[in-house]
Structure 1
Amino acid sequence: MSTAAGSPADRGTEMETVHLLRRVTVEFGLRQAEFAARHGMHPTDVRALICLLDDARAGTPATAGRLGTRLGLNSAGTTALIDRLERLGHVTRSRDERDRRQVLLTVDARAVELGQAFFGPTLAGMAQLLRTFDDREAAAVRRFLLGAYAALSGETAD
């Protein structure tokens, strides 16, 4: 017997999926904290590196202001974070060639290598799993994740 969309049985399945996403998110957070501890970092440092790498992939200039906004930090907290990442050799600052008043942040290649060594096998496993999905399934997963991100962040999903 099938149930109508929106019925209690469907909502149970929907919530099961939402709770599963939460479990995945918690597990990612635990792995990030483990990585941070191994490399003398704070978990916020790892989140900052992820934000900076996301900006680089998107071709978006990474600035202190943008990073602070994304992490919910004030100016002083953002400066302390960037100073710490720079001291650890994970981030460099450079002047924007188009606007010399603006300072751009770049993740150092060594930091990328550390991240690849730790997270690479897990991410490769996830990519391999996605390759088992047909185009419609993969599109549905992507649409759900973009929508979940938009619901959490208040930003419009791309």
Structure 2
Amino acid sequence: MDIESSENQSNLIAAIILLAALSLYILLDLAISASLNLIISGGFALFVLALTLYILQPVPLKQKLLLTGLIVTAVFSLRFVDWNGRKQFLHDFYQIQPGMTAEEVDSVMAEYDKNISPFVNHSFHGDIQTGTITYLPTAETRENAHLASITFAGGRVVASTYYSD
């Protein structure tokens, strides 16, 4: 086997592995919106970088950088692709932090249907003190049955849970 044939074979193997890895990442993004998590995205980008540099050792640096740059750009660009209406909902849900008031949560989740549990206790002024509120996607995204459950105590968020469909 000559050097050029070996180099072409290495390029083909690398391309197949990188495309398989990117396909897996896309499947994870479809299933759990993995691209919203910077730890997952960053870890995957580092994996792609290491894989590219290892497998493409005989390939010129310019080609390695180009291929790696394209894959890493694709990884971080997936953050902006909303495959199924779930990603925007999760993006907003992830902004809810312990200690937020019901009013602050409402401002983040304003575009979603709000359901207040009959067991919620209100203050004299109507503010939520204790109990659970759920947010559901609006009618435009009803194909997904996911919801966010926000629990309050003392007028502040103490827990938030996402339930996937």
Q: Give the structure-2-normalised TM-score.
A: 0.30
- Specify which structure has the higher proportion of strand: 2
Q: Find the structure with the greater CA-based Rg.
A: 2
Decide which structure has greater helix share. 1
